[in-house]
Structure 1
Amino acid sequence: MPIRSQAPSAPTTGPTAAPTTRRRVLAAALAVGAGIALATPLTAGTAAAASTTCLNGTLAFDHNDAEAGTHKPLVTQRARNSNWELWGRRTASGQVERLSSGLTGATDGRFSACHTGTAAPRDVHVRFFSSAGTLWRVVGAGTAKQGDPNWKNTTQYTFTTATRNTPAATTDLGTVKVPTAMQQAWKITDTLNQLYGKRGTGSPCWTAHQTSACDQLTVAWRQDGSSGGYWDHPSFPGDTSDGTDWVVLKADDPDSKHLILHEAGHWFQWQLHNKQWPPSATATATAWTKAPRPPAAGRRASPTPSRRTPSATPATRSAPATPTTCSTSGSWAAGARATGSRAGWPPHCSNCGGRADPTAVTGTAPSSS
């Protein structure tokens, strides 16, 4: 897993930028939040005889697009803001080591993995990771024990290009495809760009609560995962949460970008509220957690897709009210006030990405729109 330092960044101000400018600012903010420079070698040659060697290309992945319909056609998409590292030998007799690192392009998935030194490197290749700086990552690669939940494995997915023994000064690798067995990991990584781009803060971190040493969003995914489709909230007194604070997905869950963003949205809501439960409701009574479910033999039973399900509801509370619906604009629909709250349970917006109305954190039913 790539390890990079964190660096603070001053909030951005000024008028709204054009779309292209906003994408550039997003890429720059992500890079600053990750503590890395885009396509900048780890070592810079200053001698007159210095030479630069670059492996260029575009990172892409195939995926089944659930948003395109129930037939989920196979489409190709470029992998944006994905970590890469250039590895090789500085000299013919040297050790293989990391030479430079960076992120693929924020809009086109392009990469230019370069090294500058007194001599051209040998035996070079590019290694890609299922992460974006240190702001989010997808884990679950490697061997897992039979029956272990996804989060037991903390290894990122990674693969490398073919080794170039004596590369030219500039080598075009063309389109580099993510291997089929791990393409879902890159779909998750790429999709999370949408959530990060909508975070609404000038901080390079996820929320204004942090300006450096940003919290990292972790998604645990395995094709053969034993459970998935929920956010595993931090442990709360009386529940059976594993306490990972991770999004857990399995199998073909990532076919749906909506599901990815929905479950990541629970984690983001936790961040927005500075990792505090609402004072008027328990953990099982908020839009962060939703429907209850019993544990199974000390381990989670597979929950209903797109629902996080902690342990049994506290005996002092009745079951939550039927979720209300939102209008297409995201405001509360007429009738929400009448049905939104019961026995202290805050109202919940069921078709707006799993978020509750802002007033729901205090248990107050909002007025109808």
Structure 2
Amino acid sequence: MTLRLRLPRTALSLTLAFLTAIALIPLTATAAHAASQFCMGGPVEYEYRSAEGGTSKPTVVDPVRNANVELWGAERSGDTPRWLGVSGRTSNTGFYDLCYTTTTTTTMDKLWVKVWAENLRLWRVIDRNSHSYHVLESTTLTDISPGSHGAPIIRATGSAGRAWHVFDTVNILWWQRQNPTSDCWTTHEPDSSACTRLTIYVGDEGYGGVYIPRDNSIHLSGSAGDSKHYILHEAAHFLMHRLYDGVMPEGSICAVHDIPKTSTQGCAWAEGFANATASQWAGHYSFVHGDGTRIPLQYGPGWEVGDQVEGNVATSLLNLWRHTDGGWGRTLAAIAAHKPTTFSQYFNHARPAADPPLPTDGEALRLLYRSAIDYGPSIVDDGKLHGLTNGGGWGLRRVGACTTTSSVDVRIDAFSAANAGSLWRADANPDGTVRLTDNCPEPLTLTAPTAADGTVTVTPFDPANARQKWTITKSNGTLTFTNPHTGLVLDTPNIDKYTLVTARPSSTANSQSWVPYAG
């Protein structure tokens, strides 16, 4: 209930007189213009040499997006310039528009903006030498009247332009992070005010990049900052770190690794994911170095086979995202939920456990075969013809045409499904071993040599010939063929075209690993 107070007549008269007196006092200039508003807006850009543009590295100018912006100035000439308590972010087209309302004057003595290489508290770029933020400042406007005022373009060039390229490129990954619950990098952090922040240190000396999990930081050197792929690759390591809720998957830290070569399953998983992420949003199948040179991510000459090769993992992921999965969103959810530590765990366990399940058969398996990884069913007695590769993109192939019907050497050569000598059928023998037969009209059977380093041949099938019998074991997405009679393993001295196939004692050499292949 509202209680209405009734004033005594004398008090009422005094009150009215006081209010009348106040009404007669003229307003001061300060009060009259307390609501004067001053706005300042304009574009922010950076100039850099684009590695994605090729080895000529053309100069490109792009907008700075999602950078923190502050309005600075002084109301009167004697005031110390200060931050005016107004801040915002550049738009997706690189523009800012900030307004300040004065409290003491009808004009502003000074007005300018500062642009910081930070997006909220999500990521920031720091100069590696000075350990200070990269900051841009606009031209200072002076003696400004109320209203909106356009400012000249703010543009970072040279070393600063490279640093701002690094900052702006990270937007690409953040926009695709698939977290609808907060501004943070993953759904593990639902509070936008408590996101884990990525810090990127940029310097001109040297070349390269590394992600350091203990402090959520990336260190980029030299022209690595000119390559969107390189930037996104390192940022993808941070994203994986957040998908695993701050604990990097076991075995994922690898000091030495090479895109087409074997490392470990954990290393290949982490580096393959990073390269796939960078290529997914850069729209290609290659690693782009800072000098504009490219390394293909697709299996081919010089490449080894299996899921310990980061390039094979990268292209497998890319093909799955682009051809069977409808994007990478469900992969991120599956990783966050199940935390696989290898590509095998991801494909064979996290994908079928996803909600809804991601495909692991049919086209999904065929995409992996193209990247020299075999997670499919046994090739024995499947009624199919298979190419077989142990690296380099070459196939196991009998020398010459199908006209030879006695004995002929076997080598690795260009695979062709139209060449009957490139196709093999695996049939079980009654004793549990397997015979491999080519697809020529008069087929010949793969035969081990009598001694180590001898040449493998194809000869007419003889059920009593122990050197035509093989066992098949499967590991790391590859097959190993061993002849029990000699104990020797199908191998090649190298993975160069036309190399003769041999049989050697079992070893860790990747050349002893084979994968069904369709070219």
2:231 is aligned with 1:250: no
Shift of 1:349: 2.1
Residues 360 and 98 of structure 1, relative CA distance in 2, 3 Å threshold: closer
Distance in 1 (CA, whole Å) between partners of 2:160 and 2:69 is 16
Letter in 2 for 1:56: G
Distance in 2 (CA, whole Å) between partners of 1:188 and 1:75 is 13
Contact between 1:65 and 1:73, CA under 8 Å: does it hold in 2?
yes
Contact between 1:347 and 1:360, CA under 8 Å: does it hold in 2?
no
1:20-99 residue pairs with structure 2 within 5 A? 49-99=34-84
2:151 is aligned with 1:170: no
1:1-369 residue pairs with structure 2 within 5 A? 49-99=34-84, 100-106=86-92, 108-118=93-103, 119=105, 120-140=107-127, 144=129, 153-168=130-145, 169-202=147-180, 203-212=182-191, 213-224=194-205, 226=206, 228-234=208-214, 244-278=215-249, 282=250, 285-286=251-252, 289-292=253-256, 320=264, 323=268, 339-340=306-307, 349-351=313-315, 358=335, 361-363=340-342, 365=344, 366=347, 368=365, 369=367
Shift of 1:94: 2.2
Distance in 2 (CA, whole Å) between partners of 1:170 and 1:186 is 27
Distance in 1 (CA, whole Å) between partners of 2:168 and 2:308 is 37
Letter in 2 for 1:136: W
Shift of 1:277: 3.5
Residues 81 and 48 of structure 1, relative CA distance in 2, 3 Å threshold: same
Q: Match of 2:153, SS?
A: strand
Residues 290 and 111 of structure 1, relative CA distance in 2, 3 Å threshold: same
Contact between 1:61 and 1:78, CA under 8 Å: does it hold in 2?
yes
Residues 221-268 of structure 1, C-alpha deviation per residue, up to 9 Å, x if partnerless?
0113x563111222xxxxxxxxx3211101111111011001000011
* Alignment-derived partner of residue 309 in structure 1: none
Q: Match of 1:220, SS?
A: strand
Distance in 2 (CA, whole Å) between partners of 1:348 and 1:333 is 7
Q: Match of 2:46, SS?
A: strand
Distance in 2 (CA, whole Å) between partners of 1:105 and 1:59 is 10
Higher strand share: 2
Unaligned runs of 5+ in 2: 1-29, 285-296, 300-304, 319-327, 348-359, 368-519
Q: Match of 1:219, SS?
A: strand
Shift of 1:135: 0.9
Shift of 1:48: 6.6
Contact between 1:115 and 1:121, CA under 8 Å: does it hold in 2?
no
Q: Match of 2:245, SS?
A: coil
Distance in 1 (CA, whole Å) between partners of 2:313 and 2:308 is 12
Contact between 1:123 and 1:165, CA under 8 Å: does it hold in 2?
yes
* Alignment-derived partner of residue 455 in structure 2: none
What root-mean-square deviation, in Å, do the aligned CA atoms of Structure 1 and Structure 2 show?
A: 3.9
Contact between 2:268 and 2:308, CA under 8 Å: does it hold in 1?
no
Residues 164 and 347 of structure 1, relative CA distance in 2, 3 Å threshold: closer
Contact between 2:204 and 2:221, CA under 8 Å: does it hold in 1?
yes
Shift of 1:93: 2.5
Residues 340 and 58 of structure 1, relative CA distance in 2, 3 Å threshold: same
Residues 216 and 223 of structure 1, relative CA distance in 2, 3 Å threshold: same
Distance in 1 (CA, whole Å) between partners of 2:343 and 2:134 is 43
Contact between 2:207 and 2:223, CA under 8 Å: does it hold in 1?
no
Q: TM-score, normalised by structure 2?
A: 0.46
Residues 210 and 49 of structure 1, relative CA distance in 2, 3 Å threshold: same
Residues 319 and 180 of structure 1, relative CA distance in 2, 3 Å threshold: closer
Distance in 2 (CA, whole Å) between partners of 1:276 and 1:71 is 40
Q: Aligned residues: percent identity? A: 25
Contact between 2:75 and 2:110, CA under 8 Å: does it hold in 1?
no
Distance in 1 (CA, whole Å) between partners of 2:190 and 2:263 is 39
Letter in 1 for 2:72: W
Larger radius of gyration between Structure 1 and Structure 2 = 2
Shift of 1:363: 4.0
Distance in 1 (CA, whole Å) between partners of 2:40 and 2:102 is 15
Letter in 2 for 1:131: E
Shift of 1:347: 10
Indicate the structure whose relative CO is greater, using CA pairs within 8 Å and at least 6 residues apart.
Answer: 1
Unaligned runs of 5+ in 1: 1-44, 145-152, 235-243, 294-303, 307-317
Distance in 2 (CA, whole Å) between partners of 1:347 and 1:227 is 21
Letter in 2 for 1:220: Y
Distance in 1 (CA, whole Å) between partners of 2:132 and 2:35 is 36
Shift of 1:91: 3.1
Letter in 1 for 2:144: P
Higher helix share: 2
